[in-house]
Amino acid sequence: MSKAVSGFSKLSKAEKIQWIAEQHFANPAEAVQVLQKYWNNDTDLQKLHDEFIENTISNFYLPLGVAPNFVINGKPYTIPMAIEESSVVAAASKAAKFWSNRGGFKARVISSEKIGQVHFIFKGDSLKLKRFIEEIQPKFFSGTEGLTKNMQKRGGGILAIELRDKTSDLEHYYQLHATFETKDSMGANFINSCLEQFAKTLKEEAALREDFSEEEKNLQVVMSILSNYVPNCLVRAEVSCPVSELKEEKHISQEEFAEKFVRAVQIAEIEPYRAVTHNKGIMNGIDAVVIATGNDFRAVEAGVHAYASRNGKYSSLSHAKIENGIFTFWMEIPLALGTVGGLTSLHPLVKISLEMLGNPSAHELMEIVAVAGLAQNFGALRSLTTTGIQQGHMKMHLMNILNQFQATEEERKMVTKHFQHHTVSHSGVVEYLESIRNTK
Ligand code: MEV
């Protein structure tokens, strides 16, 4: 067990590493070497990364891949994806190609409203509170003018501030529930700054209120924070084509494939155990693009899964139907994304990813990300309902196994050739590799 340490954040990077190496590793020199191997030789770039967070000791790489051949609303895209899981990029690319020959993906932003709340306790007359909030509404707006000026120039700002009475759920609990339009920024800092100013105005004005009792004047602000649940920041992605144009899969006709696919989606709609995995597959595509474009994947994950439970039961985010011989597969999901601010102008690879996408607006990025999720879901369901998922997955995983056993170039060639005609399994690859090594 390591000793407690005080003032750790004040130590230099070298000192931090030294402390960690001595406390936690059987071979401290080796640990230091591994950490240093991942430093960047470009000291400015390393400094940039060091300063993203506190106590940085090294960089943690994720592969950045690309899925070409996406067509969204008639426009071609190559989508950058930062993800460690083998087969995700391959599946996205395959689905992109497939749908590019069938009209491509259609996507549209339905709404882009963000939400923030001031949570407070008011021990008093709720009608008096209601009148008070109505009367001080202009002060909420005038108090935040300095914050909203720039956002308003870009067409955004505060949309509405309403009082919500939550006392039936929690004694004396009320909210200022505010909605915002933040245009191309994700808007977290803007929203939180506005909310903290609302809270200040609320407290100051309550203290001055003549018709309030002492207890009412003393209302308690508990916290002011944006919500990552954004059911009105919604985007829809869709594909459709005649069933007869779906590809014939192994041992299965187009009609049978379409029906089986729709059935698989219906199962995820009614069965939470399956829905979680089904949606995880969607998030494989979504998170990878969200990360590559410098957005907050934890916020997206939290909001998306809350949305998947909005009817009281966790369910599939995507839907599918066959009507009059037409197969349609679609999804509506909440996505609060930004293409300005945050990491977008700081991280060189984020800038590259955004430029690769043609420097999209936040709305366009919402469409691209939703499409990446739908494509991923299509790829997963197509494999699951036809060949099974392991065939493609293990093919990609083969490289990881070869790396694990430090296979030489010659061994890689032999193993890859052999497993073109054999089912890949971890033990199968290891056995075959050993047999090659033993015959040498
Ligand atoms: C694996 O990362 C994702 C899948 O499990 C998704 C699904 O089952 O739909 C293949």
pLDDT tens-digit readout, 294-321 = 999 999 999 999 999 999 999 999 999 9
169 flagged as catalytic: no
Structure tokens at 183: 């245009």
Residue 14 within any structural domain of the chain: yes
150 within domain boundaries: yes
45 & 99 share domain: no
Quote the percentage of the chain above a pLDDT of 70: 99
Catalytic annotation present for 280: yes
Residues 99 and 188 in one domain: no
Does residue 280 line the site of ligand 1, with CB under 6 A?
Answer: yes
pLDDT at res. 120: 98
Residue 56 inside a domain? The answer is no
Three-state SS letters, 339-379? CECHHHHCCHHHHHHHHHCCCCCHHHHHHHHHHHHHHHHHH
> Is residue 75 scored above 70 in pLDDT?
yes
Residues 238 and 367 in one domain: yes
- Does residue 311 share a domain with residue 282? yes
Per-residue pLDDT, averaged over 102-112, amounts to 98
Number of domains in the chain: 4
Phi, then psi, of 225 in degrees rounded to 5? -160, 145
Task: Please check the confidence at residue 236 and state whether its pLDDT lies above 70.
Answer: yes
Going by pLDDT thresholds of 50, 70 and 90, the confidence category of residue 390 is: confident
157 is in which domain, residue-wise?
114-227
Residue-level pLDDT at 389: 76
> For residue 1, is it within any domain?
no
For range 319-340, the mean pLDDT: 98
The pLDDT assigned to 345 comes to 87
Does 356 share its domain with 245?
A: yes
Residue 58 lies in a domain: no
Q: What is the band of 420 on the pLDDT scale with cuts at 50, 70, 90?
A: confident
Backbone angles phi and psi of 323, in degrees to 5: -140, 125
For ligand 1, say whether the CB of 187 is within 6 Å of any of its atoms.
no
Same domain, 203 and 252: no
Across 237-242, average pLDDT? 98
- pLDDT tens for 204-215 read 999 999 999 999
| Lowest-confidence region among 69-73, 283-287, 288-292, 397-401 | 397-401
Q: What are phi and psi of 289, to 5 degrees?
A: -80, -35
Residue nearest to atom 4 of ligand 1 (CA): 281
Q: Quote the pLDDT of residue 81.
A: 98
Q: pLDDT band at 18, cuts 50/70/90?
A: very high
Instruction: Tell me the mean pLDDT in the region 242-255.
Output: 87
Average pLDDT over every residue of 411-423: 88
The catalytic position among 238, 287, 296, 367 is 296
pLDDT tens profile 120-140 = 999 999 999 999 999 999 999
Same domain, 89 and 190: no
Residue 1 is predicted with a pLDDT of 63
271 in the same domain as 373: yes
DSSP state of 154: T
Instruction: Look up the CATH number of the domain holding residue 382.
Output: 3.90.770.10
Residue 218 lies in a domain: yes
Taking the CA atoms of residue 246, residue 250, residue 251 and residue 252 in that order, the dihedral angle to the nearest 10 degrees is -20
44 catalytically annotated: no
**What is the arithmetic mean of pLDDT over 327-350?**
95
Q: 107 vs 345, which has greater pLDDT?
A: 107
Q: Which two tokens stand for residue 201?
A: 């105005």
For the stretch 131-140, contacts whose Cβ atoms lie closer than 8 Å and that sit 24 or more positions apart, written own/partner, are 132/205, 132/206, 132/209, 132/212, 133/163, 133/176, 136/201, 136/202, 136/205, 137/161, 139/201, 139/205, 140/176, 140/197, 140/198, 140/201
* CATH for 195: 3.30.70.420
Q: Do residue 202 and residue 284 come from a single domain?
A: no
pLDDT of residue 280: 98
Residue 69: pLDDT above 70? yes
Do 217 and 249 fall within a single domain?
Answer: no
Given a cut of 90, is residue 159 above it in pLDDT? yes
Mean of all residue pLDDT scores within the chain = 95
380 Cβ inside 6 Å of ligand 1 = yes
The verdict on 270 and 322 lying in the same domain is yes
Q: Is 278 in the pocket of ligand 1 (CB under 6 A)?
A: yes
How far from chain centre, in Å, is Cα 401?
28
Catalytic (active site) residue 393: yes
User: At residue 219, does pLDDT exceed 80?
Assistant: yes
Q: Which of 166, 174, 177 is nearest to 140 (CA)?
A: 177
pLDDT of residue 247: 82
Q: Which pLDDT score, from 0 to 100, does residue 158 have? A: 98
